[in-house]
Amino acid sequence: MCRSARSDLWTYAFLAQIHGDRPAYEQTVAEATAAADATNDVSARAYTLLVRGYDALIGNRMPEAATLFEESAALHRGEGDLGGQLWAQYNYGMSTALAGELGRGRDVLHHCVDELAARGKNPLAVVALDLSGEPARPLHVPAAQ
């Protein structure tokens, strides 16, 4: 398998996971992890951690999910992948709140909303505010140029 296909294995693991195909998920996430490690592909490793975090989130293993999402966010940040970083941080905030650290989770979710709004993007803002348990605060999203 070529490197580009190997680095996309996390995508197949994610699809197997959301479709409930546990055997395919287990096999593919193991292959994705091994491929990322073998090629030292930090981006693929970060996305594989994100997928593993979703597995823990879906399985109601919140402390594990929070740890995986936090690790993924750190790798994305190191790679300069802001989209991946915010995706992982958002899920870190949600899983942290669900693990019982509601204040910390809210802080992380608000940070994600602020980062998106500062960049003129707002795809997760409403969800992040709803999950925070606090009244929605006005967001200033600059108009597209």
At 123 the pLDDT is: 53
What parts of the chain have a pLDDT lower than 70? Answer: 1-7, 122-145
Q: Is 145 exposed, middle or buried (0-12, 13-18, 19+ CB in 10 A)?
A: exposed
Per-residue pLDDT tens over the stretch 27-44: 999 999 999 999 999 999
At 120 the pLDDT is: 74
Using CA atoms, how far apart are residues 63 and 72, in angstroms rounded to an integer? Answer: 14
Task: For the chain, list the domains and their CATH numbers.
Answer: 3-132 (1.25.40.10)
Using CA atoms, how far apart are residues 83 and 94, in angstroms rounded to an integer? Answer: 17
At 83 the pLDDT is: 82
At 82 the pLDDT is: 85
At 86 the pLDDT is: 87
Neighbours of 103 (CB within 10 A): 9
At 1 the pLDDT is: 40
